[in-house]
Amino acid sequence: MKALVIAEHTDAARELSAGARTLADDVVLVTLGEAPAGVADKAVAVKVPEGAVADDAYVTVQGIYDAEAPAVVLAEPSRHVKSVLGRLAAAANASVITDVTAFTDAGATSLYFGGVGERVRKAAGDVVFYTVAPGTFEGLEATGTDVVEEAAWTAPARPLALLSSREREKSGGDLFKAEAVVAAGRGFAEEAELDLARALADKLGGGVACSRPLTEGVDWMPAGTYVGVSGLVLSPKVYVACGISGQMQHMVGCNRSGAVFAVNKDKNAPVFKQCDFGLVGDIKDVLPAVTAAL
């Protein structure tokens, strides 16, 4: 059986290729951008040309998919890859199972109802597409060829045109790799208070993340830094939820962390039922004190 892995980031490419090896004998890796060597039996890098957008890689990836005819497709849940995967699955008239956190004989496990429950599903059909949460195959070693091929870019008939782009604030490191993440929520009354979270993250050598309202409500943080069912699913060693109430939609993005710490001024906040260590207090008092103590 052959598995096709589609990824955008090197770490995801490695992890998914290692995991694909547990599901199939033959692993083909396709990346949007650089492909790591030595992780799959065949590795193909799709370089996005200047002025094109990664979402339009679906025509190029479709060519590779048709040639390889995989029985299973594992994809990194990044925005670009999900856009490509959806089109591939629609063209194949196949099912997609999203946000998988485990594969067992019974099927693929994924979160349900915004993380309130888990469900196990199996797809009918000759080919099945999965998006896989980071950490699902953690600890597995990928092996494979050192040869990385480069695919010729095929533009779609109606390509997207990139009109402009601008840098946004960096999150303070790659949150997927960070061993410590300090997450800010609506308990931060103004943007300048985020410096309290940044100072603690710097002290811990980690990154700064947030709850969704800080990106979509007030636009204080980049959209790529919010944690939860519709954002990032992180599993750092330490997650510090600051001024975050602990709604399930947020907590499913961090509850696989080594230890969850919470700081909230409301002793009845739901986050205190879901953390390992809770501190009732105002972030404006607690964060500077903890940072100084560290």
Work out whether 229 is an interface residue with ligand FAD (CB under 6 A): yes
Binder of ligand FAD out of 31, 60, 171, 247 (CB under 6 A): 247
Q: Is residue 115 near ligand FAD by the rule CB under 6 A?
A: no
Q: Does 266 bind ligand FAD (CB under 6 A)?
A: yes
Binding flag, residue 264, ligand FAD (CB under 6 A): yes
According to CB under 6 A, which residues from 193 to 222 bind ligand FAD? 211-213
Bridge partners (DSSP) of residue 59 are none
Regarding 256 and contact with ligand FAD (CB under 6 A), the answer is: no
Burial group, residue 28, by CB count within 10 angstroms (0-12, 13-18, 19+):
buried
Instruction: For residue 283, state whether it binds ligand FAD (rule: CB under 6 A).
Output: yes
CB 13 within 8 A of CB 5: yes
* Nearest residue to 2 via CA among 61, 68, 60: 68
If binding is defined by CB under 6 A, does position 226 make contact with ligand FAD?
A: yes
Indicate which single residue of 231, 261, 262, 290 sits in contact with ligand FAD (rule: CB under 6 A).
Answer: 231
Minimum Å gap between C-beta 9 and ligand FAD is 20
Number of H helices, E strands in the chain: 6, 14
Phi-psi region of 205 (alpha: psi -120 to 50; beta: other; left: phi over 0): left
DSSP structural state of residue 141? P
Instruction: In whole angstroms, give the CA distance from residue 187 to residue 281.
Output: 11
Binding site for ligand FAD (CB under 6 A): 114, 185-187, 211-213, 226-231, 243-245, 247, 249-250, 253, 263-266, 269, 282-284
